Structure 1
Amino acid sequence: MNLRVALALGTATLAVGALAPAAAAGPAGIVWEASCAPGYDCGHLDVPLSYQDPSLGTVRLAIARLPATDQAHKLGTIFSNPGGPGSSGRFAPALTPTLHARFDIVGFDPRGVGASAKIHCFTDPAQTAVLQRALGTFPLTRAAEQQQIADTRTVTDLCEQNAGPLANHLSTGTIARDLDRLRVAFGERKLRYYGKSYGTYLGETYANLFPGATGTLALDAVDDPTRWSAGPGPMSYRLQGFADAPRALESFLDACGTRCPFDYNAILDRLEAAPATVSYQTAIARIHNYLTDAQAAPELAAFLRSLADPASPAPPSAGEPPDVDSLLGGGATLCSDAANPRNPAVWWNYAERADRIARSFGPYDVYKTLPCATWELSDPGRYTGPWNRPTAPILLLANRQGDLETPYAGAQRTERLLGNARLLTLDTYGHGSRGKSACIDRRLDDYFTTGALPAPGTLCAPDRGPFG
């Protein structure tokens, strides 16, 4: 799960009118558009708002195609999703040079996100200020907990008042049915697909809704679908991404060596007692984000040195302000998919348990799903299993030294759970394996071009260590 909130927020998009009228007859085809980002072909496809009741009209999906560079020897189309939920996926990356040569690569903004049909929770830009207090943080005191619950309820109340009917048709089951419409629209007999992070849950859902149409699916940074969809406690606790944080941090500190002449826990103790230039919660969010990419180790080392020595300048915080509407569309997807407690007060106890496993990373993770306690959502297209339907072989990718978003143990469980899956492991920490190892990318090429899977237990080395 990768639903994070930056502390700096831009102005919300306030346009309305996400729904299009129902098509007169038959499924709509792709409409190609005149302008697009360089190298891509842009278009859109209208799909049913509800697959259970097509009379409710349609919603628009924004798509973009990165054409194969060797069209004479093209093998077909690979569809792609980068994660989220709530992240734009329209302009998919080339994946690998070989795959870019032999396949058109198609990305799309899932419903609720980016240039596709979206929900709009706010009627006044000033209302977005409450998001800074409600999301992307965690409370340290009981008083702060009560304030965060109240602020979160304000956000979800505004969404219930203003979001409209689309909010109840944003589950991953519905998005998987959209993906099948895209497959058909592009004339593909079976789905070829690369999904990362939340995109793995979308791929798992597709494979079990449409096992006969499942071709080659590569799922990178694997979510455990059983823990995502059901179980006791908040979904963000069940996934246990925070449990990989100590291993990833240890890997980083081992690699950092003499570059890191400080006591990590002493830094947290001092911040928790008396925040300096950044708050305790902001520091944890930045450390978490740095640990999702081993190649960000130099920036993480510099940030920790700045916290240990206030005279040392901190590296600037990266990232652009989020698209608020897409962020909340992704939240609607998450809350539609996952069983969560309806009492927001129970998050405190689960955060305490998580904190004992992974100091500070636990509460940061657990409170991501607090809005699901007070947001009333119900998508009739929601899918909750089974997860083991027989399919063509599915390739799973995961990082064994720790992934704070999608833990390695979840990938191991998913390999055993799915009807036909093989796990390929990268020996590093961070979130996602593609593009970090020639060994990984070569096996991705083999899988998509020939269907070949790596031998069981294959372990790949990264091309570079955390410090090069």
Structure 2
Amino acid sequence: MNFRVALALGTATLAVGALAPAAAASPTGIGWEASCAAGYECGHLDVPLSYQDPAAGTVRIAVGRLPATDQARKLGTIFYNPGGPGSSGRFAPALTPALHARFDIVGFDPRGVGASAKIHCFTDPSQLEVLQRALGTFPLTRAAERQQIADTRTVTDLCEQNAGPLANHLSTGTIARDLDRLRAAFGEPKLRYYGKSYGTYLGETYANLFPARVGSLAFDAVDDPVRWSTGSAPMSYRLQGFADAPRALKSFVDACGTRCTFDYDKILDQLERGPITVTDTTGRQIVVTYQSAIARIHNHLTDARSAPELAAFLQALADPASPAPASPGGPPDIDSMLGGGATLCSDAANPHDPAVWWDFARRADQVGRGFGPFDVYKTLPCATWDVTDTGRYAGPWNHPTAPILLIANRQGDLETPYAGAQRTERLLANARLLSLDTYGHGSRGKSACIDAWLDRYFGTGTVPAPGTVCAPDRRPFG
């Protein structure tokens, strides 16, 4: 189909599509709360701690609803998950203006995250120091490797001592059953859902646990469910996100052209010899290590729109007289991060010997320099954290369903590689892949063509023709 025609039709088909306006459903079982973020309605739903043992008690799931702006012609509810695991999803974005008009959009904090029931691993603030050393980095020497393994074991020992029973009920299979309880509570006979990144694995799990209840499921930045859940290598190696790093980096460098006068490999060579001190745009001096540089480059490559900031950061490393962009981000929610870690370790098969991560990291480094070990060591805690959930789901993944829309960036995605989306299109029983011609993580909001297909898919159930590719609204550097 001509993309200009598709774009023109996207909102129109939503407005006059085959779906009749939904009757106003009063959610059942939702405890509504008096205060909430502006524009949202907040509530909670109590669900079983264990779906295999209903007598084990309940846990609370925090819910947020963004009401449709056109309530008189509302078509229903779309549920939302932003990824993670460990990320809060209670306050969902509008998705697109057309979807915000005709659908309530319901977000939730999965169990273990945000305002929902959480685990608590630490009993003393001083214990956080070991967490900072253990997570979010990777070793460059054998001595550093031994220290990271020891620090990581300390963290996982503390979690096993203090987290309580919830830690063994955080698998994605259990969270998918929570999502089905939310669907029923909001009176939806079938699930409409938009999930990004880890949210695609949650959606894939839901689709195969409850295939008859699949309505419209859109998966943006697609995880390969087989590689996520099965295999003998560390799960973070199996997913091969680092394999897309050279492709995304090449797209960035090609777009940068004569703006970029630095030598990328030379910068990494220098960082391997020792840290570089730069001054950011606020006048603050920042000590940049090899590991922190890789983390920041990785984060910039997850969105092609941040290409100017990445170029400025790399230029500052090459020439410390050049100002570096200020570091983004704030302090993490430690309990949610560890709750997400418990989900990851519950879902994925991983080796039990932490020493094997070193060899897998070296192999990955040959494919994506720096990005390989950065990725691989993300799952090191799973070697020593003994969390198991009887609600875990590990396939099969091909139960017949209504059409599912997959969306992926074909120039490279360092979190969920494009090849994984291609495999998943062939794996699921009824999936169609829509590609965006850029690099980065996630496509919604970056292309009017992508957003128009989301409008059309949720409005009428229509998926694009095989091989459809959309253009981004803006290329790197504008």
Normalised by the shorter chain, which TM-score bucket? over 0.9
In structure 2, C-alpha distance between the alignment counterparts of 1:85 and 1:451, rounded to whole Å:
28
1:420 to 425, 430, 436: 430
Unaligned runs of 5+ in 1: 1-26
SS in 2 for 1:380: coil
Instruction: Tell me the equivalent position of 2:192.
Output: 192
In structure 1, C-alpha distance between the alignment counterparts of 2:353 and 2:215, rounded to whole Å:
41
Identical-pair percentage? 83
1:293 to 283, 303, 306: 303
Instruction: Tell me the equivalent position of 2:351.
Output: 341
The one-letter amino acid of 2:455's match is D
Alignment of 1:441-460 (within 5 A): 441-460=451-470
Q: Does the 8 Å contact 2:172/2:393 carry over to 1?
A: yes
SS in 1 for 2:218: strand
The one-letter amino acid of 1:403's match is D
How far apart are 1:52 and its partner, in Å?
0.2
The one-letter amino acid of 1:412's match is Q
How far apart are 1:454 and its partner, in Å?
0.6
1:373 aligns with 2:401: no
How far apart are 1:312 and its partner, in Å?
1.2
Instruction: Tell me the equivalent position of 1:280.
Output: 290
How far apart are 1:276 and its partner, in Å?
1.3
Q: Does the 8 Å contact 1:28/1:47 carry over to 2?
A: no
Q: Deviations over 1:303-336 (max 9, x none)?
A: 0000000111211110111000000000000000
Q: Does the 8 Å contact 1:234/1:366 carry over to 2?
A: yes
SS in 2 for 1:156: helix
1:205 aligns with 2:205: yes
1:315 aligns with 2:325: yes
Unaligned runs of 5+ in 2: 1-26, 278-287
The one-letter amino acid of 1:365's match is D
How far apart are 1:275 and its partner, in Å?
1.4
TM-score between both structures, scaled by the size of structure 1 = 0.94
The one-letter amino acid of 2:445's match is G
In structure 2, C-alpha distance between the alignment counterparts of 1:140 and 1:311, rounded to whole Å:
27
1:37 aligns with 2:37: yes
Q: Deviations over 1:365-423 (max 9, x none)?
A: 00000000000011000000000000000000000000000000000000000010000
TM-score between both structures, scaled by the size of structure 2 = 0.92
Q: Does the 8 Å contact 2:28/2:186 carry over to 1?
A: no
How far apart are 1:28 and its partner, in Å?
7.6
Q: Does the 8 Å contact 1:28/1:46 carry over to 2?
A: no
The one-letter amino acid of 1:140's match is L
The one-letter amino acid of 1:251's match is S
Post-superposition, which runs of at least 4 consecutive aligned residues in structure 1 deviate over 3 A?
A: none
Instruction: Tell me the equivalent position of 2:120.
Output: 120
Alignment of 1:200-279 (within 5 A): 200-277=200-277, 278-279=288-289
The one-letter amino acid of 2:315's match is R
Alignment of 1:1-80 (within 5 A): 29-80=29-80
CA RMSD of aligned residues (A): 0.8
In structure 1, C-alpha distance between the alignment counterparts of 2:344 and 2:322, rounded to whole Å:
39
How far apart are 1:177 and its partner, in Å?
0.1
SS in 2 for 1:193: strand
SS in 2 for 1:267: helix
SS in 2 for 1:195: strand
Q: Deviations over 1:418-453 (max 9, x none)?
A: 010000000000000000000000000000001111
The one-letter amino acid of 2:372's match is G
Alignment of 1:357-368 (within 5 A): 357-368=367-378
In structure 1, C-alpha distance between the alignment counterparts of 2:179 and 2:274, rounded to whole Å:
49
SS in 2 for 1:219: strand
The one-letter amino acid of 2:419's match is A
Instruction: Tell me the equivalent position of 1:21.
Output: none
Aligned residues: 442
SS in 2 for 1:333: helix
In structure 2, C-alpha distance between the alignment counterparts of 1:108 and 1:386, rounded to whole Å:
26
Which range is displaced more, 305-314 or 243-252? 305-314
Instruction: Tell me the equivalent position of 2:281.
Output: none
Instruction: Tell me the equivalent position of 1:22.
Output: none
In structure 1, C-alpha distance between the alignment counterparts of 2:139 and 2:175, rounded to whole Å:
33
SS in 1 for 2:208: helix
In structure 2, C-alpha distance between the alignment counterparts of 1:240 and 1:149, rounded to whole Å:
22
SS in 2 for 1:107: strand
C-alpha distance 276-396 of structure 1, shift in aligned 2 (>3 A): same
